[in-house]
Amino acid sequence: MEWETVIGLEVHVQLSTASKLFSGSATQFGAAPNTQANIFDLALPGTLPVLNESALAMAVRFGLAIGAHIGKRSVFDRKNYFYPDLPKGYQVSQLDFPTVGKGQLTITLEDGSEKVIGVTRAHMEEDAGKSLHEDFHGMSGIDLNRAGTPLLEIVSEPDLRSAKEAVAYLKKLHSIIRYLDISDAIMAQGSMRCDANVSIRRRGETEFGTRTEIKNINSFRFVEKAINHEVRRQQDVIEDGGRVVQETRLYDADRDETRPMRSKEVANDYRYFPEPDLLPVVIDDAYIEAIRVTLPELPDARKARFISDYKLSEYDAGVLVATREMADYFEQVAQATGDAKLAANWVSQDLQGLLNKHHWDITESPIQADRLADLLKRIQDSTISGKIAKTVFEAMLDDTASVDSIIESKGLKQVTDTGEIEKLVETVIAENPDQVQQFRDGKEQVIGFLVGQAMKLSKGKANPAQVNELLRAKMGS
Amino acid sequence: MIEKTVAELSAALASGEFSSVELTQAYLDHIERHNATLNAYITVCAESALAQARAADAARAAGANNPLLGIPIAHKDIFCTEGVLTTCGSKMLHNFVSPYNATVIEKFNAAGAVMLGKTNMDEFAMGSSNETSYYGPVRNPWDLERVPGGSSGGSAAAVAADLCAMATGTDTGGSIRQPAAFSGITGLKPSYGRVSRWGMIAFASSLDQAGTLSKSAEDSALMLNVMAGLDMKDSTSADKPVDDYAATLNDSLQGLRIGIPRQHFAEGLSPEVEKAVRAALGEYEKLGATLKEIDLPNNHLSVSAYYVVAPAEASANLSRFDGVRYGYRCADPVNLEDMYKRSRSEGFGDEVKRRIMIGTYALSAGFYDAYYRKAQRIRRLIKDDFSRAFQEVDVVIGPTSPHTAFKLGAKTDPVAMYLEDIYTIAVNLAGLPGISIPVGTAAGLPVGMQLVGPDFAEAKLLNIAHQFQCHTDWHRQKPGALGKEA
Amino acid sequence: MALDKSEVAKIAHLARLHISETEADEVTNRITDILALIDQMQSVDTDGVDPLAHPLDVVQRLRPDVVTETDERERLQTLAPASQDGLYLVPQVIE
């Protein structure tokens, strides 16, 4: 039986405002429990919400970035349910009139082709607090620091057809959000969270199958694993003659499986209605345009520019624009050196390799863009060879001295003194009479061997071009 | 001295006739004597009141002289008061000492008013008789067997019986105007958004409004001068200029156009109440006003629409009372659900639970359009009725309540109780200002008359009410029951 | 609209209220009476009428994104029925 997978993602992103969506409490990650929960966040009677202007601006920023319809009149609603981490007994969200309407983004598939994924909507809402299940004598502890932190919930169309597409979509979303600087979007810290709606159907069918919602997926890797697991589970259910039940399932990363959530057993009736403590949020064209002009160059546009301006390959450009910081880094090096190809190779290979090895983010790199540019300039002016440069690069990790003084102090400077090179060449000619004779007999490729011998003798410091030239001169070709 | 109006007390304090400490002590003594009978106060703040009075006297000695400086006030127990028990008339908050002040409280404190205590009320302001309070019913100082009206019944009784000089109240469907009518005092519900709701425990957010209970319209004007204004902490507070409500009290009523809604003089209205109201309208004619019959054709739907909108909003507003962060929690919950259900069932009284149930039902899946959206559409019709009326008249006047104060325990049927507010509820749905003033008595009980104005026309309403009080003395009538009790 | 006891039980659960067997009939009857009052609304045709959510025809004000609050945990947690190590305690939450 051939199955088609249908996936839609609901991504919650914590907007990186200083204060909460409706109160003046701080939103710092990792504060001691309940030290960032004021009287409004605790839902003390008589307290009232006032909307944070930055949260609204960030939502609009996102909407513009995905070419979405911006709601000129958005309305907050109350979503009613009881849970200890939800102090008011309702979550303020947006149901019928979200700030961001239909938009889209483009993902690149493994074969290099592109696919447009629809975004249904993105609405603002409050985050909930956290329940801590460590044992307090059979009780749970409630920390409300996170309660009221602004969230943007981004809902995709069910346009994704595999776990890999889902991951590509999520990474693209992450990239755009980071470019816009509207969220830290760190999945491990919960500032970006993903719920996946998954269903399967026989290929060729037009109706969707019954879907399940998988919650608690907190890394890109788990998105793929959780979806794949759920797809297999649904296939097994159907192939065993059963039916998929519409339910919410929790992904357990330790066991790599999903299981039904007990607390959601009874179908919820959220009783949405317009939040009467808030008025409609109305924005005009001037407001939207003022935000539009502040939008940075986004990954797709930047990639296109890298290809046309720097003559980079599709692949290199794609790697370099993945994060705004990486692209900025690359551009700084490319501009300082005037050699985009060289910069691209070093950033996407040597630097990226280093970062991967140490699990560093580019912002954590011990080698800043200006220092890498200094290093590449020394390759360009033949002070060092490309090979020696890799040694210098390694040394720069622990040594904060300038590139030049590292080269100097380690004695890595390329030998360009004609006298010294002459001595090297004479030694090589004397020690390899057979090869010299072969060369003189017209075996051109032997020159490579002889240059290599000279380089070895110089411990790599001799300028290979100069060696080549002198060898030929001395051997009288 | 305690029977004087705020305006009179203010003059007496200014002239040094007596001090705020003496005045405050006189009220405290009177409370001590009569509160056990009336049950108007849930909490009396004798010590802090005297400290505030001393501070007011010192400020006056230093040259301060604003109208409310040193005047004793009672606040409805729906306003959060820092360091003072704030119960909202509920067991749910029987132990809630608020950590912060409502904006209304801050404003009266800043004006130098002296807070005598917190007044009794229907639980979470849900009631029209003050019988739903966890702290027991309030008695009407005109007849101790009768209710003072509700939900601001404690404030109304306290003002009527001189247990304070003035009091705050809140009005969601008539909760200031109806108790003012039953207790023979003046009660003003300003336009929605005129007074900040920050720190005022919410019943129905789109209807709730704080206002005044006082011995005269002039006193209400002095109070509103302090209370009104934009508050950035309340998104629904209006960004409209605040008038000097005392400045226009003496404007002439010559040419005033009064609208008399036919629907407010229809079946169900007691003849004695109608007689008193018609007499008062005659008084206005003498002052140069003209009367014109008008229609509020959708008025009969106001109670129905209200009992969807108010319970729906309340059902969500009261979800925060869950026994987790403050307030009542049941003993020994066996699990989370048990904690929620028992804390809420034991902490809320029957009427509150009933309204939560109605609101939950009206919002539940499949009923939203038939109930909530329908009610909002009717709300629009009701607002439009008034807008049309105000194209022809300056003020709409009728009875506040169909009859005078009824006996304690007389209305056990919730629906009968809800219909008590048939003349007042539409005003909340439309967000308009309304005031009730005493205009006579029937069988020894006060009759109230309601004046309704266009949006933010408080100054005009107070002017119209004050002019009536300049030419009559119904507002000077005092209840007699307290003398007879022992 | 008349309600039966099972519907009342469902609403009570949504509202996290406990209604005992002995109260159930009384509660059901009262609510049915109130719904009858409410249903008078259905007598009027409101097609095409714009719903009015709020008496004020104004729009939401915005607050500058500034932290104005400080840590008041100690003071605020004195109000809590049960707390430990800065956390509010509730019977075990099961996900």
pTM flag (> 0.90): yes
Residue C64 covered by a domain: no
User: Where a domain ends, among A290, A324, A354?
Assistant: A290
pLDDT digits (tens, 9 = 90+) for B55-68: 999 999 999 999 99
In this predicted structure, what is the pLDDT of residue B168? 98
Distance between CA atoms of A256 and A222, rounded to whole angstroms?
8
Q: Which of A242, A262, A290 is a domain's end point? A: A290
Question: What value does the mean pLDDT take over residues A375-399?
Answer: 87
Strands of A273-274's sheet in order across: A90-93, A77-80, A273-274
CB A159 within 8 A of CB A134: no
**Distance separating alpha carbons of residues B207 and B202, to the nearest angstrom:** 10
Instruction: Say yes or no: A178 and A248 in one domain.
Output: yes
In a domain, B462, yes or no: no
Question: What is residue B239's three-state secondary structure?
Answer: coil
Tokens coding A274: 């317009």
The answer to whether residue B450 is domain-embedded is no
Neighbours of A167 (CB within 10 A): 20
pLDDT at B341 over 70: yes
CATH code of the domain in which A422 resides: 1.10.10.410
Tell me how close the Cα of B236 comes to any Cα of chain A, in angstroms. 7
Question: Could you tell me if residue B289 is inside a domain?
Answer: no
A222 and A98 housed in the same domain? yes
Claim to verify: residue A424 and residue A377 sit in the same structural domain: no
Distance, CA of B167 to CA of B158 (rounded, Å): 8
Interface test with C, best of B358, B385, B412 (most C CBs within 10 A): B358
Task: For A308-339, write each residue's pLDDT tens digit.
Answer: 999 999 889 988 998 899 999 999 999 999 99
Active site residue B175: yes
Domain assignment of residue B64, yes or no: yes
Q: Which residue has the tokens 């609204």?
A: A56
The mean predicted confidence, pLDDT, of chain B is: 97
Is the pLDDT confidence value at A264 over 70?
Answer: no
Q: Output the pLDDT for position C94.
A: 75
Question: Could you give the number of structural domains in chain C?
Answer: 1
The whole-chain average pLDDT of chain A stands at: 92
Same domain, A53 and A138: yes
DSSP 8-state code for residue B410:
-
Token duo for residue A435: 């090869």
Q: Buried b / exposed e across A418-427, counting CB within 10 Å, b at 16+? A: eeebeebbee
Note whether A439 and A312 are same-domain residues.
Answer: no
pLDDT tens column, B180-209? 999 999 999 999 999 999 999 999 999 999
The Cα B430–Cα B384 span in angstroms is 8
- Answer yes or no: is pLDDT of A412 > 80: no
B33, part of any domain: yes
Where is pLDDT greater, at A113 or A289?
A289
Domain range for residue C32? 5-42
Closest residue on chain A to B238 (Cα) = A279
Reported as a pLDDT band with limits 50, 70 and 90, residue B485 is very low
Q: What is the pLDDT of residues A138-162, one digit of tens each?
A: 899 999 999 999 999 999 999 999 9
* Structural domain of A201: 3-290
Q: Which of A25, A263, A281 sits opposite C69 (nearest CB)?
A: A25
Question: Do residue A322 and residue A305 come from a single domain?
Answer: yes
Name residues whose C-beta falls within 8 Å of residue A78's C-beta, 6 or more positions apart in sequence.
Answer: A90, A91, A92, A93, A271, A272, A273, A274, A275, B316
Range of the domain at B99: 6-256
**CATH number, position B119:** 3.90.1300.10
pLDDT of residue A265: 47
Q: Spell out which residues of chain B touch residue A90, defining contact as CB-CB under 8 Å.
A: 316, 319
> Quick one: A334 and A456 in the same domain?
no
The verdict on whether B76 is a catalytic residue reads: yes
> For chain B, which chains pass the contact test of at least 3 CB pairs under 8 Å?
A, C
What pLDDT score does A410 carry? 79
Q: Confidence class of residue C95 from pLDDT cuts 50, 70 and 90?
A: low
Mean pLDDT of A435-453: 88
ipTM, 2 dp: 0.97
pLDDT at A1: 64
Taking CB atoms and an 8 Å limit, are A136 and C87 in contact across chains? yes
Q: Which B-chain residues 195-214 have CB contacts (< 8 A) with chain C? A: 206
Residue C76: inside a domain:
no
In a domain, B344, yes or no: no
Burial B317-339 (b: 16+ CB within 10 A, else e): bbbbbbbbbbbbbbeebeebeeb
Element (H, E) at A29: none
Query: Above 80 in pLDDT, residue B425?
Result: yes
Q: Is the Cβ pair B319, A45 closer than 8 Å?
A: no
On whether both A454 and A377 belong to a single domain, the answer is no
Residues 6 or more apart whose Cβ sits within 8 Å of residue A29: A184, A189, A191
**Domain boundary pick from A244, A267, A290:** A290
Residues A155 and A58 grouped into a single domain: yes
For residue A294, pLDDT over 70 is answered with: yes
- C-alpha closest to that of B94 among B149, B23, B43, B47: B43
Pairwise CA distance, residues A4 & A205, whole Å: 9
Mean pLDDT of A30-42: 97
Rounded mean pLDDT, C46-58: 91
d(CA B138, CA B122): 9
Confidence of residue A267 (pLDDT cuts 50, 70, 90): low
| Minimum distance, in Å, between the CA of residue C87 and any CA atom of chain B | 10
Please state, in angstroms and rounded to a whole number, the distance separating the CA atoms of residues B151 and B124: 8
The torsion of the CA quartet A198, A202, A205, A206, rounded to 10 degrees, works out to 0
Mean pLDDT value across residues B31-41: 97
Widest distance between CA atoms in chain A: 100
B362, burial (CB in 10 Å: exposed 0-12, middle 13-18, buried 19+)? buried
Exactly one of B90, B133, B151, B191 is catalytic; name it.
B151
A49: closest chain C residue by CA: C63
State residue B486's pLDDT score.
38
Is C25 domain-assigned?
yes
H/E segment holding residue B365? none
Q: How many domains does chain A have?
A: 3
Q: Which residue has the higher pLDDT, A110 or A302?
A: A302
Q: Are strands A77-80 and C83-84 parallel, antiparallel or unpaired?
A: unpaired
Q: Region A203-215: what's the mean pLDDT?
A: 91
Mean pLDDT within A430-436: 90
Looking at residue B150, its pLDDT comes to 92
Q: Are residues A368 and A431 in the same domain?
A: no
pLDDT on residue A262:
65
Where residue A381 falls among pLDDT bands split at 50, 70, 90?
A: confident
- Please report whether residue C90 resides in a domain: no
